[in-house]
Homo-oligomer: A and B are copies of this chain.
Amino acid sequence: MDEQTLESIKEQIRASLESNNTASALALLLDLHPADQAEVFNSFGEDEKDILLPLLDVPSTADLLEEMEDEEVLEAVETLTTERLADVLDEMEPDEAADLLGDLPPAQASEILAQMEDAEEVIPLLGYPDESAGGLMTTAYVALRPHTSAEQAIKFLRQISPENDVPYYLYVIDRARKLTGVVGLRELIVSEPEKLIESIMDPEVITIGVNSDQEEVARVMARYDLAAIPVVDDRQRIVGVITHDDIVDVLEEEATEDIYRLATVTDADLEPESPVVDHLKGRLPWLYLNMLTALFASWVVANFEQVIGQVAILAAFQSVVAGLGGNSASQNVVMIVRSMALGKITVRRIWAVLIRQVWIGFLQGLLVGAVVGTGVYFWRGDPVLAIVLFMAMICNMSIAGIIGTLVPFAITALGKDPALASSVLVTAATDSFGFFVFLSLASLFLPYFIK
């Protein structure tokens, strides 16, 4: 559904609510895909939400909540009674239900659990952190024994008539629930009815440990193009399944985290309209760190106070050298950070990358420096200033190649995320060195400047 159609439906629902025609508002909303319902619902104000939510039946409420972000869900369920919420949670996917329960105050959560019918599906999931394999997995999967026949398996499936969201794979387990194989629904359908599961299953199952980080889960599923991956405990017993739609969310989260970190925003949940205090918490620490590095660069310049006192125009050009070095270095940083995140490069390639990036930095300094030098010569008419700028830019952009390569590798070697701190540290280095090399060269050539 395109954005415009959705906007017009929003308007229609709003108009229906205003004229107290709740039945028509409800019909319009329920006609949408739950994902679209969630967008429409979230666009409404408190008052409209408080009218709409109680109108939905239990399954529709469950579908809607599953499509909403954690904080939005928390806000929405405030108006529901404990009984109602217990019913809704029973209808939700176990992993989504566990996420919501984990976000509620513990007292309220246990009260709700006590009233749920399918609490036993959700309780095992409550102990896992949101960002681990255990936090992503669902317990709604189908397990078979190896000596079942294909026909029996199909009968069993008809009997339990699994819900829509159960993955398209059946997992084969032994008496100890140890995972021994996997069968796709397709293989099951095309196999002869009397064949045993153990003869049609694939015994080589790619699994993921229940405590693995979500980034690792996404990496493995993306690498092996998996639609679903079984989650196992440390004895290889299956405890749940993660499906492809979860890793799309993880990949987007991880990309956001990297993009934010590269620009010194360390709270990946921060959005333009997040509360002001959250912005200050997530952004100020990095501004303070940047303040320290900027003051260090100031100290470098302060050492050349005498020189600048004699040739004040130097102050106008020091930032050209520093700024372009910083730009070039940050080009390096993002390429290395991203290549590492996608597993395209390892620390072992450090020397090959370093040599190439220094060479590129040198060439960039040569090519940009020549233009800057020529331009400034015609502007200010001072050949010495032009030459000093040219040389300083070659030096600083070569250094930018070194710094922009070594800093992300070094942070990785220390076991930290290279997206973190790279930009502040790298810019600190190219700024300070840029000022230093430009003003040092200027000091050297001081007698020849046109004053």
Chain A positions near chain B (C-beta within 8 angstroms): 3, 33, 35, 154, 157-158, 161-162, 164, 166, 168, 184-186, 188-190, 206, 221-227, 244-245, 247-249, 251-252, 255-256, 258-260, 262-265, 270-273, 276, 279-280, 283-284, 286-288, 290-291, 294-295, 297-299, 301-302, 305-306, 308-309, 312-320, 322-324, 327-328, 330-339, 342, 344-346, 349, 352-353, 356-357, 359-360, 363-364, 367-368, 371-372, 375-376, 405, 424, 427, 431, 435
Given contacts A247-B248, A251-B255, A291-B371, contact A319 B305 (CB under 8 A): no
Is B263 a contact partner of A331 (Cβ separation < 8 A)? Answer: yes
User: Quick one: closest B residue to A228, CB to CB?
Assistant: B227
Q: Which B residues are CB-close (under 8 A) to A224?
A: 33, 35
Copies of this chain in the oligomer: 2
Most chain B Cβ neighbours within 10 Å, of A154, A158, A308, A332: A308
A270 contacts across to B, CB distance below 8 A: 335
Known: A291-B324, A331-B265. A189 touches B186 (CB 8 A): no
Complex: A372 Cα to B298 Cα, angstroms:
11
The distance in angstroms between the C-alpha atoms of A78 and B81, with both chains bound, is 68
| A299 CA / B315 CA spacing, docked (Å) | 11
Are A271 and B345 within 8 A (Cβ)? yes
* Set of chain B residues within 8 Å of A327, measured between Cβ atoms: 264, 286-287, 290, 424
User: Would you give 5 A-B contacts (Cβ < 8 Å), ordered by A?
Assistant: A252-B342, A255-B259, A272-B356, A287-B324, A314-B315
Contact A276:B319 (CB < 8 A) given known A188-B189, A248-B251, A271-B339:
no
In the complex, how many angstroms separate the beta carbon of A54 from the nearest chain B beta carbon?
A: 26
Among B308, B333, B352, the residue within 8 A (CB) of A273 is B352
User: CA of A340 to CA of B364 in the docked complex: distance in angstroms?
Assistant: 32
A340 to chain B, nearest CB (A): 9
The chain B residue with its CB closest to the CB of A220 is B1
Q: Which residue of B lies closest to A221 (CB)?
A: B248
Is A319 within 8 A of B263, CB to CB? no
CB distance from A327 to the nearest CB of B (A): 5
If A166-B186, A323-B431 are given as contacts, then 6 extra A-B residue pairs at C-beta distance below 8 Å, sorted by A number, are: A157-B186, A244-B248, A263-B333, A263-B334, A287-B327, A305-B316
